[in-house]
Amino acid sequence: MRRSERLRVLANEPLGPYALVRVERGSLDPGIPGQFFMLEAPGRPLPRPMSLCQAPPGELAFLLEAVGPGTRALAATEPGDELNVYGPLGNGYRLEVERPLLVGGGIGVAPLPYLSQRLGAPPALLGFRSDWHAEAAALVPNAEVVVEPILVTEQLTDFVRDAHKVMACGPEPMLEAVRAIAPDAQLAWEAPMACGYGACYGCSVEIDGVLQRLCIAGPVLEQNGGTHGSPVGPLLYTTRRRADSWAPAGQSPATPVDATSRPSRGSRE
């Protein structure tokens, strides 16, 4: 059952370039691995969706990479600070899997420690862009770690041939590559979110050719069988920008529909 609660930060530990922010659990349910929580980002208008990294008794721990104003604010929290936390939200990984293999890339390792704990430390394959980033691998037991230029997908084929079932989280290109090798993989995706529970339609992405709210259709999706019974196909999240976005109306072959370029009636604008 999801709840909203104001929780105290217990610790903020650097881990390579990442921050492991541990907050008291309060009465919140840690949920299923792969589910997420909306975390207040101090000083920012919107909270940030974060999957749960660890669930030690009495605590919830989140692994963050400070890449924007919200994650920077969260990474700067100190013990004693209080944050509003809302969750658990969305659909996590389906845990009834034979021969699971956890696959993570970069900050995408975030949900894997909790997943590993719940599954009894199955084998894991983790990829990072540097040795410094790879310090986060310490959170996942039984892990084989690769650092660029070696990619996790280069090691993945042997595991898949070995009938392992992939449960992955990472950057979108990695997930696409994983899916090409393991079509039945359970993949955790991400999108900007505002509410986290289906109200605002802000996180809609293209799933199986249809725009769906990732917060309630996902964030974990799988192609066959579907998380919670909903079959899922290709996901197209990347919004490719046209190079001519700024071209004046009429000079672009695909001028965006924009009411300001049409005669204004004055009364409605």
The footprint of another protein (CB under 8 A) covers 4, 38, 40-42, 44-47, 69-70, 83-84, 86, 191-206, 210-211, 216, 237, 239, 241, 245, 256-260, 265-269
The least CB distance from residue 162 to another protein, in Å, is 36
Q: Which of 222, 235, 229, 220 is nearest to 36 (CA)?
A: 220
DSSP-assigned letter for residue 125 = E
Residue 105 CA: distances (Å) to CA of 50, 127, 171, 198, 204? 16, 5, 7, 27, 23
Residues 134 and 140: beta-carbon distance below 8 Å: no
Rank residues 2 and 94 by Cβ distance to another protein and give the closer one.
2
The least CB distance from residue 60 to another protein, in Å, is 15
Rank residues 5 and 154 by Cβ distance to another protein and give the closer one.
5
Q: Which of 53, 55, 63, 74 is nearest to 9 (CA)?
A: 74
Q: Which of 106, 166, 169 is nearest to 133 (CA)?
A: 106
The least CB distance from residue 50 to another protein, in Å, is 12
Structure tokens that stand for 85 in this block: 């936390």
Distance CA 183, CA 22 (A): 34
Rank residues 38 and 146 by Cβ distance to another protein and give the closer one.
38
Q: Which of 208, 206, 152, 205 is nearest to 181 (CA)?
A: 152
Rank residues 87 and 104 by Cβ distance to another protein and give the closer one.
87
Q: Which of 206, 202, 209 is nearest to 189 (CA)?
A: 206
Rank residues 127 and 196 by Cβ distance to another protein and give the closer one.
196
Rank residues 78 and 98 by Cβ distance to another protein and give the closer one.
78
The least CB distance from residue 269 to another protein, in Å, is 5
The least CB distance from residue 263 to another protein, in Å, is 10
Rank residues 149 and 209 by Cβ distance to another protein and give the closer one.
209
Q: Which of 75, 72, 77, 87 is nearest to 34 (CA)?
A: 87
Using CA atoms of 170, 173, 176, 180 in order, give the dihedral in degrees to the nearest 10. Answer: -110
